[in-house]
Amino acid sequence: MIKIAIFLFPDIETLDFCGPLEVFTAANLATGENHFDVYTFAETTTPVNTINGLSVNPAYGIDELPQPDILVLPGGDGTKAVISNPVLLHKIKELYEKTQYTFSVCSGSRIPAVLGLLDGKMFTTHHSVFDDMQKLAPKARAMPNNRFTDNGKILTSAGVAAGIDLSFYLLEKIKGKEVMEKTSRYMEYPVKL
């Protein structure tokens, strides 16, 4: 099974993490196979409040986290605090180095930006974050008209719901068109890649 870890933090955008979580867990349900082991983590296991006030219980603290194959970095106003925490950033970079894929959703792009992971690479993000990203990653190439970007190991999506589209893209890339289509039908989500 492919391990997918979704990072949680205070003031996270709810759909940024719930969208990818739904796509990859729905792939298991839609096919009746265990393709993915999807779990959440945060700096600690203390409940995290989303920007909308939803309280979420991380499955793991970052120090106990099983090494994922795929790392998901959602967005939200809380990314500003994340990128100001050098200890947390160092741990995220260590996780990234051992992943097959890492992707950001929305303003989660700030995290790979400050880690230098987008230097010389394409990125997209929420439309209101491009100016900030130019300061955080001046060597990265902004793609404001893209729903998502694929640089190989690191991928980015535009804002909020675009994380669902990137998840479907990665699902097809990893598991093929049939699994992606079964998942899309299960979720009743029209995929346009």
The tally of domains found in the chain comes to: 1
**pLDDT at 109 > cutoff 80:** yes
Average predicted confidence (pLDDT) for the chain: 97
Determine, yes or no, domain membership for 98: yes
Determine, yes or no, domain membership for 192: no
Bridge partners of residue 36, in order along the sequence: 2
Determine, yes or no, domain membership for 104: yes
**pLDDT at 193 > cutoff 90:** no
Pairwise CA distance, residues 42 & 65, whole Å: 9
Determine, yes or no, domain membership for 100: yes
The verdict on pTM exceeding 0.95 is yes
In which domain, by residue range, is 129 found? 2-187
Determine, yes or no, domain membership for 91: yes
Residue 157 belongs to domain with CATH number: 3.40.50.880
62 close to 88: Cβ distance less than 8 angstroms: yes
Please name which of 58, 77, 83, 84 lies closest in space to residue 6, comparing C-alpha atoms.
58
Determine, yes or no, domain membership for 106: yes
Determine, yes or no, domain membership for 193: no
**Residue type at 38?**
V
Give pLDDT tens digits for 6-64.
999 999 999 999 999 999 999 999 999 999 999 999 999 999 999 999 999 999 999 99
Phi, psi of 52 (to 5 degrees): -90, 0
74 close to 108: Cβ distance less than 8 angstroms: yes
3 state SS of 38: strand
Determine, yes or no, domain membership for 149: yes
